[in-house]
Structure formats: C-alpha cells, structure tokens
C-alpha cells in the first residue's frame, strides 16, 4: 500500500540518522514557496575570517538596498586586490612554475543563476569575471586562456599578479625541492608557506534574497592547471534562495568529492540549524576521506572550514578542528566569532 506522508517521514527518520538524505516527493523537494506575508529576514553577511573588512562593506550595501551578489563581490574584491593577502587575487601564491592561476564562482539566489572561472591568469578579480560569465553568457564556467580572453573582451585589464613578495616565497620553495640541485637555499630561518587560503562570502537581505561567492589563488605550488573546489558550483559555494547559502575554504579536493556546500544547504532545507548542517557536512567529508589522508586516530590530516546563512538570517561557521574563526556582520556590527567544530585539537 502507498505510504502516507506521515509514514514516509517517520520511516525516513532512521535513514536520516544514518547520514542519508531522505527523498521527498519532487513537488516538495523543489517547491519555491513565496515568503509569508510580512516576512522579514535579519540581514547578515558571513565569510571566512579574512573577510572581516569585506563583510562590513557587503552588509552596508545590502541594507542600503543593493543586490546581494554585487554586495558580496564588493566584499571579496578587497582581498583580491590586496597584495598582502597571498591566498587570493593580486599577490596570490603561484603554482609550481611561478604562475598565479585564480579560481572563483558565484551564485545569485533571486535569479537562480551562477558563473565561474578557473585557472584564469593576469586578472586580479576573478569573482567579477565569474559574475560576467553569469550575466553575459549562456554558460556557467570558463577556464584557462578562454576565461582570460573573455575577461579581456569584457574590458578587464590584464596585469602581473606575481608580486615581489610572492616571487621570493616561490624562490624559497623552489630552492628546497632538491638539496643537490643548482638552486641556492636562502633565508633558511623562514618557513615555507603552504597555503590553501580562500575567501568565501554569503549574504541575505531583509527580504530574504541570498547570494554567495568564493575566490582563491588555490593551493600554493600546485601542479599547473589544478582546480580546487572554489570555482565548482556546489563545492566551493552554493546558494538556494528558498533555503540559504553556504561556502568553504580549506582543502578543496576533500570538498569536491562530497559536493559539500550543496549538501550543507540541503541539510538546512530539511530543517537543520546552520551549525548542525555544517557539522553533518563535515562528518560526510571525513567519511569520504581516503586512508592516506587520515592520521592513526582516523581523523583527517587537513582542515576544512564552512560558512552558512539561512533565508531568515541565522548563520554559522564550522571547522574540522577547534580554534577556527569566521567573520560576520549584522545589526550588531562586523566581528570575528568562534566556529563550531567536529574535533578538538
């Protein structure tokens, strides 16, 4: 006999507890309900901790009535154009050949559109190029030289992204590859940087409209052509205007395999609070981690961070290990908060 809705939900509870997402009838799963009369969200912007300046800029824009995607992109542009932030944009740490290759993606909740670029060179603001892909093409992702040529055609100016600071860090890394090569070690007292830094930013307006963006220079010293999670819709970030938005920083390879930002939003769709949704997402990442990346205690050797905001303005940050922090701005102002975590260090 066919199951009633009540029977279905009761029987699916055990499945959900085991880590599986119950399948609702498609009419409910993809419903796009209008907000209740008088609905008002709490405007909020949440991001990785390096976005502390950007969340204030983005928040001021959304409360002034600007589009949420324009607001968060303006927020991350601050880091993209800061040569002292070596994880994104200008001054980002290069690949193993000394070339800075950037990735970014964005989603616009109200129109359900998205744009992305990967392995783009010589353009400092890939987040804006990703939005241009969304606004002016029938595509979602452009990569490599095609992305660069598209950006140039759209009026973006090319520039050298490798600063002297990042060039010196690349030389230090290169000099230590082989003790018997012809490269001379220098500044032996300086630790070689291995960053996977990124900036993700998500926003919700007073009317409940959402947007998200993630931008990065990727893993330092990566194999040329490597793409992380940042430009992949559903991994680096995801936005559903009926539910919320989420994004990530950290080891992109772990995130890609779980479509983790999409999964976090789906957990929130089921009614989980942002904190719980992000913790369950992290648990799924651990379950999908290959043995070589696990320590003797069965825990990952890497870290991964998530950030999320719901349609009504609730937010959270979560990390695999304790000590993580994230940036948020709402009516109480811009600030850094402690993230919830899966494991204590």
Asked if 305 contacts 326 with a C-beta cutoff of 8 angstroms, the reply is: yes
- Residue 310 known to be catalytic: no
* Sign of the C-alpha dihedral computed for residues 164, 169, 172 and 174 taken in this order: negative
Strand 113-120 to 325-330 pairing: unpaired
Choice between 82 and 39, residue whose per-residue pLDDT is larger: 82
Q: Is the model's pLDDT at 26 over the cut of 90?
A: no
Calpha distance 66→64 (Å, rounded):
6
**Average confidence score pLDDT of the chain:** 89
Q: Say whether pLDDT at 23 is over 70.
A: no
For residue 123 the two structure tokens come to 């353009």
User: Alpha-carbon distance 294 to 296, whole Å?
Assistant: 7
- What's the pLDDT at 191? 56
Do 324 and 317 meet the contact criterion of CB atoms below 8 Å apart?
yes
Residue 143's pLDDT band (cuts 50, 70, 90): very high
CA–CA separation, 90 and 85 (whole Å): 8
pLDDT value of position 39? 82
Give the pLDDT score at 284: 97
**Does the pLDDT at position 38 exceed 50?**
yes
Per the residue annotation, which of 125, 166, 195, 198 is the catalytic one? 198
In angstroms, rounded to a whole number, what is the distance separating the alpha carbons of residues 2 and 317?
A: 41
> How far from 95 is each of 193, 218, 281, CA to CA, in Å?
12, 9, 29
Tell me if 109 sits within 8 A of 210, measured CB to CB: yes
pLDDT one-digit tens code per residue, 167-194: 988 988 887 776 666 655 555 544 555 5
| Mean pLDDT of all residues in 211-228 | 94
218: left (phi over 0), alpha (psi -120 to 50) or beta: left
Cα of 294 vs its chain's centroid, Å:
23
Q: Which of 312, 308, 212, 208 is nearest to 264 (CA)?
A: 308
> Which residue ranges form the domains of the chain, and what is each CATH number?
39-343 (3.60.20.30)
Q: Find out whether 255 and 236 touch, Cβ atoms under 8 Å.
A: yes
**Which range has the worst mean pLDDT, 49-53, 120-124, 178-182, 219-223?**
178-182
**For residue 16, what pLDDT is reported?**
42
At 172, which helix (H) or strand (E)? helix 164-175
Which pLDDT value is given to residue 41? Answer: 87
Sign of CA dihedral 219, 127, 232, 324: positive
Phi, psi angle pair for 223, to nearest 5°? -65, 130
Alpha carbon of residue 78 to chain centroid = 16
- For the cut 80, the answer to whether the pLDDT of residue 261 exceeds it is yes
The pLDDT of residue 122: 98
- DSSP per residue over 231-300, as a string? TSBTTTEEEETTTEEEEEEE-HHHHHTTTHHHHHHHHHHTT--HHHHHHHHHHHHHHT--GGGB-TTS-B
Q: Is the pLDDT of residue 24 over 70?
A: no
Q: Is the pLDDT of residue 1 over 80?
A: no
- Distances in Å between the Cα of 127 and the Cα atoms of 9, 40, 156 are 40, 28, 12
Q: What is the pLDDT of residue 10?
A: 54
Interval 75-126: pLDDT, tens: 999 999 999 999 899 999 999 999 999 999 999 999 999 999 999 999 999 9
Range name among 34-38, 104-108, 302-306, 324-328 with the lowest pLDDT average: 34-38
User: Span 247-260, mean pLDDT?
Assistant: 94
Q: Region 123-139: what's the mean pLDDT? A: 98
Cα distance between residue 139 and residue 18, in whole Å: 37
Q: How confident is the model at residue 58 (pLDDT cuts 50, 70, 90)?
A: very high
pLDDT (tens digit, 9 = 90+) per residue, 285-302?
A: 999 999 999 999 999 999
pLDDT of residue 172: 83
User: Residue 180: what pLDDT?
Assistant: 62
């Amino acid at each position: 006999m066919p199951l009633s809705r009540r029977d279905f939900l009761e029987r699916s509870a055990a499945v959900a507890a085991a880590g599986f997402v119950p399948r609702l009838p498609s009419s409910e799963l993809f419903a796009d309900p209008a907000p209740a009369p008088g609905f008002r969200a709490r405007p909020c912007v949440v991001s990785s901790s390096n976005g502390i300046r950007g969340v204030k800029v983005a928040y001021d824009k959304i409360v002034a009535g600007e589009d949420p995607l324009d607001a968060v992109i303006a927020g991350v542009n601050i880091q993209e154009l800061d040569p002292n932030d070596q994880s994104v944009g200008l001054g980002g740490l290069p690949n193993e050949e000394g070339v800075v290759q950037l990735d970014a993606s964005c989603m616009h909740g109200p129109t359900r559109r998205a744009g992305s670029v990967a392995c783009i060179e010589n353009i400092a603001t890939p987040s804006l190029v990703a939005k241009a892909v969304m606004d002016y093409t029938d595509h979602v992702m452009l990569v490599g030289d095609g992305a660069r040529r598209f950006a140039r055609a759209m009026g973006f100016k090319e520039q050298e992204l490798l600063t002297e600071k990042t060039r010196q860090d690349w030389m230090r890394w290169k000099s230590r590859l082989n003790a018997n090569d012809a490269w001379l070690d220098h500044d032996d007292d300086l630790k070689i940087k291995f960053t996977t830094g990124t900036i993700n930013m998500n926003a919700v307006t007073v009317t409940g409209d959402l947007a998200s963006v993630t931008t990065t220079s990727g893993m330092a010293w990566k194999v040329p052509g490597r793409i992380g999670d940042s430009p992949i819709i559903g991994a680096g970030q995801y936005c559903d205007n009926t539910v919320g938005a989420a994004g990530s920083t950290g080891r992109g390879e772990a995130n890609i395999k779980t479509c983790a930002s999409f999964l976090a939003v789906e957990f929130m769709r089921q009614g989980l609070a942002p904190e719980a949704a992000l913790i369950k997402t992290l648990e799924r990442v651990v379950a999908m981690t290959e043995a070589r990346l696990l320590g003797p205690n069965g825990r990952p050797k890497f870290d991964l961070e998530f950030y999320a905001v719901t349609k009504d303005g609730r937010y959270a940050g979560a990390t695999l290990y304790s000590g993580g922090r994230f940036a948020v701005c709402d009516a109480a102002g811009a600030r850094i908060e402690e993230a919830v975590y899966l494991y204590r260090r």
